[in-house]
Amino acid sequence: MRITDARIRPWLLLCICLYANVLFQRQNPPARLEVVELGTPPPAKIVSMAALGENIFASYLVMLFLQNVDVPAGRATPLADIDRSALIHWFDLTTDLDPNSGYPLLLATRHYAETGTPAQRRIMLDWIYQRFEERPNQRWPWLVHGVFVARHVLKDNALAEFYASALRNRVTDPRLPLWVRQMDLLLRADLGETEDARAILGALVAAGQIRSPAELKFLEARLLPDPSPD
């Protein structure tokens, strides 16, 4: 009899645990799947006044809101379901509050431009480019990532070339890494647009942006046709 009781006890304990788990799940249902409505953000002046002129701090708080807007308490919203037009209005607010911050552009490129439908990604890339045009010497790193998204995520070579060309022509900061200026050339060379790539190489040499003979030799080699297989 004792042996039978010893065998029954583990199963009885297991049943009790399972029943307790069912009760717990009923009392604490999982997060609901809901779409967050961002709505229209308040004007930057109103936010600045509410923050007593602490625009950098206000911008940071808005960014924290945008970074976690898809997971508020008790809810979970797929990023693809967040309205990109409304999202851009909020990004404009935080960028206007603190134009020197790269946080909004970082979040736009790495969090939203890589999620959602192709149309949603293009909306975010368009916004990144518009903001890049305002301060190209400061905001070029985010457009560099835009080239990557256009080329490898959207598979839109024309858009990638457009952004790469803008980086080469619009950024005037002499501290810009040479590989950024050469993105346009290398991209066109990889796509077989040799004549365009040669024209870009000539422009870089004429502008004095390629001074090393070894670097010039490397770039010229990239423009040579691939050898035919044996």
What pLDDT score does 124 carry?
93
Query: In angstroms, rounded to a whole number, what is the distance separating the alpha carbons of residues 163 and 144?
Result: 8
pLDDT per residue over 100-113, tens digit each?
A: 988 899 888 888 88
Kindly report whether the global pTM for this prediction surpasses the value 0.85: no
Residues with Cβ within 8 Å of 132's Cβ and at least 6 positions away in sequence, in order, are 139, 140, 142, 143, 146, 166, 170
Give the pLDDT score at 40: 83
Judged by average pLDDT, the poorest of 100-104, 200-204, 221-225 is 221-225
Residue located via tokens 């290398």: 186
Q: Which amino acid is at 29?
A: P
Q: Where are the domains of the chain?
A: 38-166, 177-223
- Per-residue model confidence (pLDDT) at position 113: 85
- Structure confidence by residue, pLDDT tens digits, 24-42: 445 544 444 455 577 788 8
What letter would DSSP give residue 225?
Answer: P
